[in-house]
Structure 1
């Protein structure tokens, strides 16, 4: 009864301190001294070690062990985060609020140092002063405290001290678990070992020094126990008699598979982790040195462990197609394979995006980008812009390469998928296969060539010209593209040909004016002249492009699904009639037109006197400057006229820019594709999809970055180490420091 009262009182006290209800107190006892540590769900083993080091200053890594008893188990070890999770789960299931934890010294600390009261007759040390002595009366060296060498860091490998305990220790994971424990134990204690015997039944290991010079007694032997399949230690001599000869920071047994299992969780949160970062992390967090090649293999195996194997991923693709169709029945998924059952190509279109596209401007930005997986390949995509000028992906496909055949197939699937009665406008680069495919599948659709790519192609014709001349000619070409009237365009084009010379004139003659300039373009492209939007999409999925194919499709689906949900929620807070980006554009027009004078001719016709003056017709939504007609959004002159006429600006903006259209764009959702009911035998039948037929791999390391076009300027960065402005940072700096 008394215990219940105390427990209830302590529980109320903890709650009053703001401590969570499910917290458990660990009473850690060392000798005759005990201290309390609060066990919460978020407590890590490393944090527990730090707390104990703070309580007992003379504790150090590897000098003690932690254990507790529980319901018939007198000694349960605490050595890792997993052990803490098990303890926490046990306390919840048994409703225990306090657990006794034994802190046992592996080395007798009483022989390390002693505090004595010394009375020196010589007068060097006064009576009653405290002097720290060791067991033989020698004063303890405090010099390391000035260099920081006594401030040892608690490593993640602190729990590896007792990975091997003694005879009778059981390893539930069999030989793999025993070998991992060996690696942990040897890495923590800093010695190397060799296998005297290593097979499926018996593993016998001796110290490297014993193997070479017969001078060390350390040995461990474990055998397979049937029928359980467990490995049990049968012999263990834990004392090294070789002194410090075997101490080493590295180990040949820290294999890439072993290290890969250690860093797999980090790889899950950081898909772009590099081998050099793995090397640094292993040294910093585990005190282990590994080679670059081992780190490279570690990254490869860790990615396979976290994201799956590239080859095996193709076996799951058929399951993904079926699961995607079941959860998103109105979406479109087309998987093609060769006669030999090898993967050929796959198209994925989202019904929610198709529904929303009807409320977006009828412009499609299409492009292809390379994949970074083992089998290379290419990802084709079609994107649009929502009313707030945001990226709006519609569909994508994975093919073996960017060629006419694949672009033709992609456009066929796109046409079947959209079923859009509007005349679509395409914006893309000038890839031959893409141009032909669009012309054949969408013969009535205007096709705009990306102005950015055209300017880069033009720069290649500038041989021998200085930079100022190049900039001038590129700017002149830019003006040609934006010229609103045929008269102005022809005037600027003739000037460009004259000043650019024969090569520039020859390049311009290869361009069809109706594909790149405003003056001749036959369709309505809302002022969009470049395909940068789809380049943004390629960069948006940069990390996903290195994933196995099934995960690639699923991760992109997940990313688009989350984006649609986030934008739907954000738009619910908008109070204006038109989208924020376009509303901001109106405010900019107001600032531009403050000083202009306006004269009214009729209810719909106005003259805006600026330099030069223009005529605005409100009823036809036109301005003599041409900007309103081209962009389908009021220009600064139209803004003036509308304000003067007392008109509502929102009534003269295309519906595509309205908040209502934005809501409709994101009104539907992409449904999840759960794996909970996925058959474990997926990929094991005879009709499974095989990886694509491999082409000969080009020499050198696989490229992961796009080759920039000629004339593209990369952003210069300032190195944080040497201070130089260039293309390297602190991590890649090889410059000698100047003093």
Structure 2
């Protein structure tokens, strides 16, 4: 029984049959071991179907522990569970840190569930300056966000777009990959055009596909909202990975920025600076010249205004004026901002034995969803993307002479 207390420890029916044979000398079938495991899990964690009826009590304690939090439970006409939505008050109050703003439990990712989620999210979180949506282009996310947030800009996760592009790639995949991610992170339109020209020489269809996707949806330089380094939906994927084991239960980040600045500072030592006016400087780097405006925090290379960290040219101008580079970094990169994230109090819920639930909450009925279990074993791992799957290439053999590397149609040994 102890093996099931830790959700990260895997114990399969095969392990159970092996343990029973070694420890007790008993022989069990696979199905006997499977049913024994299901019964042990129900004893430890409770019956999943009964856990839905505990949600009203759980949400009541959640609101009482974190005043100002928002919870919402939607049921069908037959009192069966449909959706649940949770926003913790500390996340709403802060709103400027990397925190999970809201989460929901739904039947599946479809138009109705995503629309309901965005409606609840807009009601409780509203709309804020420079707010945008980055997703994997899931049809339901795109439709629902367009319906509920028509004024917001929607961006595509460059990693998911790359996996879609990879299926169409016929050239050197590694070369195309480097060009694509360089395109997504290009700082100037000139740099973007040069990289796109190089991609066209490999496969023009890829350039057409990226154009059809909309440059403004994935390219940094074409974006209309400052989203700094948020080019992917990796934060969401990280959360999904961290709660993967929790899904088996009943229903019931500053070093990178410092390194970037230090690298730019190292590059600035080889540059020369000539002041034009008080805030405008001309910086020479080899055979190239760049204009830097410290007041507007803009450099002609494009990095200063997009990264919101002084680029090498800006660092050279800052050092020329004997000032501190930290004063020209975005407040989001400051030590204070990262310390403030840990200062947000999110206390654990009190012990269940101390809960005092009103009678009207206890009398609420929430039945499990009316769904049938699909055939086969449920998948516990996410589906791998096209880029992660390693395909074994079939060996091509000439049927005429049995030589590998070509087929009969392309054989050069056939008589002319």
Q: TM-score, normalised by structure 2?
A: 0.84
Give distance in 2, aligned partners of 1:651 and 1:415.
35
Structure 1 position 525, deviation (Å):
0.5
SS at match of 1:401: coil
Is contact 1:356-1:664 (8 Å) kept? no
Residue 334 of structure 1 aligns to a residue whose secondary structure is strand
For 1:164-313, list aligned pairs within 5 A. 263=1, 265-275=2-12, 276-282=14-20, 290-313=28-51
Q: How does 1:40-189 map to 2 (within 5 A)?
A: none
Conserved in 2, the CA contact under 8 Å of 1:351 and 1:670? no
- In the alignment, the residues of structure 1 paired with residue 67 and residue 361 of structure 2 have an alpha-carbon distance, to the nearest angstrom, of 26
In structure 1, distance between residues paired with 2:259 and 2:179? 29
Cα displacement string for residues 145-174 of structure 1 (whole angstroms, at most 9, x for unaligned residues)? xxxxxxxxxxxxxxxxxxxxxxxxxxxxxx
Unaligned runs of 5+ in 2: 391-416
Query: Is the alpha carbon distance of 1:277 and 1:623 closer, same or farther for their aligned partners in structure 2, counting shifts above 3 Å?
Result: farther
Give the deviation of 1:534 after TM superposition: 0.9
Asked if 1 retains the 8 angstrom alpha-carbon contact of 2:309 and 2:329, the reply is yes
- Cα distance in 2 for partners of 1:655, 1:666 equals 16
Distance in 2 between the 1:403 and 1:541 partners?
A: 21
SS at match of 1:613: strand
- RMSD between aligned residues: 2.8
CA distance in 1, matches of 2:278, 2:25: 81
Map of 1:480 onto structure 2: 183
Deviation at 1:529?
1.1
User: Aligned with 2:100: secondary structure?
Assistant: strand
**2:221 matched residue in structure 1:** 519
Q: Show the counterpart of 1:103.
A: none
Of 712, 715, 722 in structure 1, the residue corresponding to residue 388 of structure 2 is: 712
Alpha-carbon distance, 1:271 to partner:
4.3
Q: Report if the CA contact (8 A) 2:130-2:226 is conserved.
A: no
Aligned residue number for residue 667 of structure 1: 343
Equivalent residue number for residue 291 of structure 2: 615
Encode CA deviations 1:2-31: one digit per residue, 9 max, x unaligned: xxxxxxxxxxxxxxxxxxxxxxxxxxxxxx
Indicate the residue corresponding to 1:325 in structure 2: 63
1:660 Cα deviation (Å)? 2.1
Contact 1:319 1:682 in 2 (8 A): no
* In structure 2, C-alpha distance between the alignment counterparts of 1:471 and 1:650, rounded to whole Å: 37
Whether the 8 Å CA contact 2:185–2:220 is kept in 1: the answer is yes
Residue 281 (structure 1) shift: 4.7
Task: Say if 2:299 and 2:314, in contact at 8 Å, map to a contact too.
Answer: yes
Deviation, 1:270, is 4.1
TM-score of the aligned structures, taking structure 1 as reference length = 0.49
User: Measured at CA, do residues 295 and 271 of structure 1 come closer, stay the same or move farther in structure 2, by a change above 3 Å?
Assistant: farther
Instruction: Give, in whole Å, the separation in 2 of the partners of 1:302 and 1:680.
Output: 29
Aligned match of 1:395? 102
Residue 340 of structure 1 corresponds to which residue in structure 2? 78
Q: Which of residues 540, 546, 554 is equivalent to 2:242?
A: 540
CA 1:488/1:271 → structure 2, altered by over 3 Å: closer, same or farther?
A: closer
Aligned twin of 1:47: none
Q: Which residue is equivalent to 1:605?
A: 280
Q: Show the counterpart of 1:106.
A: none
TM-fit CA distance, 1:290: 4.2
Q: Is the 8 A contact 1:621 1:629 kept in 2?
A: yes
Structure number with the bigger relative contact order (C-alpha 8 A, sep ≥ 6) is: 2
Task: Say yes or no: does 1:530 pair with 2:232.
Answer: yes
Cα drift, residue 686 of structure 1: 6.8
User: 1:106-163 CA distances to partner (integer Å, 9 max, x unpaired)?
Assistant: xxxxxxxxxxxxxxxxxxxxxxxxxxxxxxxxxxxxxxxxxxxxxxxxxxxxxxxxxx
Matched, 1:499 2:202: yes
Contact 1:606–1:617 (8 Å) recurs in 2? yes
| Partner residue, 2:412 | none
Q: Give the number of the structure whose residues are more often strand, by fraction.
A: 1
In structure 2, C-alpha distance between the alignment counterparts of 1:405 and 1:498, rounded to whole Å: 44
Larger radius of gyration: 1
**Alignment-derived partner of residue 435 in structure 1:** 142
Report the equivalent of 1:410.
Answer: 117
